[in-house]
Amino acid sequence: MQSMNPISTSRHCIKPIYIHPSLQTCSQVFLRVDSVKPPLPPPYTGPHPIISRKEKSFVLKINDKNITVSLGRIKPAYVLSESSDTLLSTPTPTHKPEDELNFNLQMNLILSNQ
């Protein structure tokens, strides 16, 4: 009995956390919601601005409060700048609705005469 040694257990449940490389340079992040949710809510909130970075956590500004969050709950947010140069304008239609209506009327007349 004294010669028996305990056997180390295997650790099946530990998964490596993927840390996106751009987390070190991004200015805003999305935060994963880790609570029970009703059907079809968004899994992430944000984008939230980053106040400071630590080795295994980030400090985010959420609702005017500084909240410390672990790396496993965040992902980088790629946000377009809101300058007037980058905003997309609405495309101009290539045809007019009146032209389509006239075409449909002409086709109906042709088909009814046959």
Task: Give 72-110 pLDDT, tens digit per residue.
Answer: 899 999 888 766 554 556 666 665 666 666 777 777 777
Report the distance separating Cα 19 and Cα 74, nearest Å.
9
Say whether pTM exceeds 0.85: no
Least Cα distance to 73 among 110, 103, 30 occurs for 30
Report the distance separating Cα 104 and Cα 100, nearest Å.
6
Report the distance separating Cα 114 and Cα 111, nearest Å.
5
Domains and CATH numbers, the chain: 27-80 (2.30.30.10)
2-52 pLDDT per residue, tens = 788 877 777 777 777 778 888 888 999 999 998 888 889 999 998 999 999
- pLDDT of the residue at 50: 93
